């Protein structure tokens, strides 16, 4: 039987916090009104904000050294969905789940769709996986998948992506996300151009199987598992591939997949300009693809990305409809808490960016007033929008304080009883 957070408990916890929230909301509303901002309009936008949860993020992650399984972690896609429902019940902005195949493969996708419907969840982008071999796999991906020198391995990788599209159709998804770890560890190991040609050739075959109302999102990553060169290592290779494939192919930006100090918000702007921004995998990092909780280290970078996104939204930029998703590895926290916190952190960046005085910013940019342009962004970033986020959750039936409510519900210990420690969650080290 599915365990949910009791609605009565959410209401009871909210009752204790509501009058303080109303006071804080009123105070923030008065402050924003002085800048001609209507707080209720901002809250209405916050209510519409959605970010998907990665199915694999609900399990405990690990490093290449070890994985320490969490208590009561989900053992299959049905249990991952149960946890996702809890996250959404409390946060009210994570109604979609992004699956990863074959990790989440089931025999009966109609049954899976029925189960997600019952939980009130929808399906986000389908992630294919050709970065590891499956048991008994006939042709290995050890030396790459879509760009492998072996035609048989390439065919297998192409077919897997086509299968993902079929499974996604049953689930009601509209996007296929393709990330490959193909690359090399030694200078000279791989002919750069030929590997990219083979990749494009394979991708064209997948693209040909894409339904007309689907998009294909290409995800680049600078390094890992390949440590010398990676076929789709940067946004340059990414957009080139997306342009070569056609309109339905777009680039996906995972925040942890760039060289250190790269200006990600500017990459976002370029992709928006050329109608190639497909979506995001949000996370944070200090050294590499650390997959830390969103906004835990660089909240200003996250805000600056949303500054570009909100700017495009307000300009009604053609072809602008990016998909937001978290892609994190939770090694030392309860994944449910991390995902709730991270979704709220990304939502905070969105709401903060809505507060930027854009006409003033344009004036300062045009008059080359660098200091005031920067201060205009900082004024929005430094505004504590917590009351707006809490009010948006409350109005949608979520928790004013989702972490506290989750902890008082005792969900983790309740599911631990029916989910004995498996030692693994099927997703390996993510
Ligand atoms: C690769 O590091 C990545 O960011 C891709 O999105 C994968 O699908 C995901 O992590 C899980 O390994
Ligand atoms: Mn990713």
Closest residue by Cα to residue 251 from 227, 229, 234:
234
Tell me the pLDDT of the chain (430 aa) as tens digits.
788 999 999 999 999 999 999 999 999 999 999 999 999 999 999 999 999 999 999 999 999 899 999 999 999 999 999 999 999 999 999 999 999 999 999 999 999 999 999 999 999 999 999 999 999 999 999 999 999 999 999 999 999 999 999 999 999 999 999 999 999 999 999 999 999 999 999 999 999 999 999 999 999 999 999 999 999 999 999 999 999 999 999 999 999 999 999 999 999 999 999 999 999 999 999 999 999 999 999 999 999 999 999 999 999 999 999 999 999 999 999 999 999 999 999 999 999 999 999 999 999 999 999 999 999 999 999 999 999 999 999 999 999 999 999 999 999 999 999 998 766 544 455 6
Buried b (16+ CB within 10 A) or exposed e, 294-326: bbbebbebbbbbbbbbbbbbeeeeeeeebbbbb
Q: Domain map of the chain by residue range?
A: 52-356
Locate tokens 């001609």: which residue? 36
Distance between CA atoms of residues 380 and 217, nearest Å: 31
Residue nearest to atom 6 of ligand 1 (CA): 179
DSSP letters, 389-402, are HHHHHHHTT--SSH
Ligand 1 atom at minimal distance to the Cα of residue 224: 2
Any atom of ligand 1 within 6 Å of the Cβ of 104: no
| Ligand 1 pocket: which of 99, 177, 290, 327 to mutate (most atoms within 8 A of CB) | 327
What's the CA-to-centroid distance between 179 and ligand 1, angstroms?
A: 7
- For the Cβ of 254 lying below 6 angstroms from any atom of ligand 1, the answer is yes
Model's pTM, two decimal places? Answer: 0.97
**Ligand 1 in reach of 281 Cβ (< 6 A):** yes
Q: For residues 169 and 211, is the Cβ–Cβ distance under 8 A?
A: yes
| Residue 169 CA, ligand 1 centroid: distance in Å | 22
Taking the CA of residue 252 as reference, the ligand 1 atom at the shortest distance is 6
Q: Distance from the CA of 325 to the center of ligand 2, in angstroms?
A: 9
Q: Is 276 in the pocket of ligand 1 (CB under 6 A)?
A: no
- Ligand at minimal distance from the CA of 61 is 1
By the 8 A CB rule, do 411 and 387 touch? Answer: no
Q: Whose CA is nearest to atom 10 of ligand 1?
A: 430
**Distance, CA 107 to ligand 1 centroid (Å)?**
24
CA 339 distance to own-chain centroid? 10
User: Span 52-356: which CATH code?
Assistant: 3.20.20.150
Residue 429 is predicted with a pLDDT of: 58
* Cβ-contact 394, 18 below 8 angstroms: yes
Q: Which residue owns the Cα nearest ligand 1 atom 5?
A: 179
Residue count of the chain: 430
pLDDT at 425: 47
């Amino acid at each position: 039987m599915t365990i949910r957070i009791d609605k009565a408990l959410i209401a009871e916890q909210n009752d204790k916090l509501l009058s303080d929230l109303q006071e804080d909301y009123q105070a923030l509303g008065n402050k924003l009104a002085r800048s001609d901002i209507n707080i209720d309009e901002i809250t209405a936008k916050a209510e519409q904000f959605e970010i998907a949860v990665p199915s694999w993020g609900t399990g405990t992650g690990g490093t290449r050294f070890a994985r320490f399984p969490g208590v009561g972690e989900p053992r299959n896609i049905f249990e991952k969905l149960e946890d996702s429902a809890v996250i959404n019940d409390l946060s009210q902005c994570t109604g979609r789940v992004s699956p990863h195949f074959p990790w989440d493969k089931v025999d009966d996708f109609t049954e899976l769709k029925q189960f997600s419907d019952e939980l009130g969840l929808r399906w986000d982008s389908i992630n294919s996986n050709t970065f590891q071999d499956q048991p008994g796999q006939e042709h290995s991906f050890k030396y790459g998948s879509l760009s492998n020198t072996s035609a048989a391995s390439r065919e297998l990788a192409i077919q897997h992506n086509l299968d993902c599209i079929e499974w996604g159709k049953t689930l009601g998804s509209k996007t296929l996300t393709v990330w490959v770890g193909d690359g090399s560890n030694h200078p000279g190991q791989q002919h750069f151009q030929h590997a990219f040609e083979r990749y494009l050739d394979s991708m064209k075959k997948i693209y040909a199987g894409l339904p007309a109302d689907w998009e294909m999102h290409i995800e680049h990553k600078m390094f890992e598992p390949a440590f010398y060169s990676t076929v789709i290592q940067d946004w340059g290779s990414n957009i080139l591939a997306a342009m070569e494939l056609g309109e339905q192919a777009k680039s996906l930006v995972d925040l942890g997949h760039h060289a250190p100090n790269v200006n990600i918000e500017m990459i976002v702007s370029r992709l928006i300009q050329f109608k190639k921004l497909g979506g995001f995998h949000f996370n944070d990092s200090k050294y590499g693809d650390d997959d830390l909780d969103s906004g835990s280290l660089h909240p200003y970078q996250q805000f600056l990305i949303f500054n570009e996104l909100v700017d495009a939204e307000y300009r009604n930029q053609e072809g602008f409809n990016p998909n937001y998703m978290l892609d994190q590895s939770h090694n030392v926290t309860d994944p449910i808490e991390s995902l709730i916190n991270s979704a709220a952190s990304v939502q905070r960046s969105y709401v903060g960016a809505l507060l930027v005085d854009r006409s003033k910013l344009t004036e300062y940019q045009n008059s080359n007033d660098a200091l005031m342009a920067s201060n205009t962004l900082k004024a929005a970033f430094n505004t504590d929008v917590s009351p707006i986020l809490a009010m948006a959750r409350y109005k949608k039936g979520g928790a004013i304080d989702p972490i506290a409510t989750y902890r008082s519900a005792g969900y983790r210990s309740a599911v631990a009883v029916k989910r004995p420690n498996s030692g693994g969650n099927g997703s390996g080290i993510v």
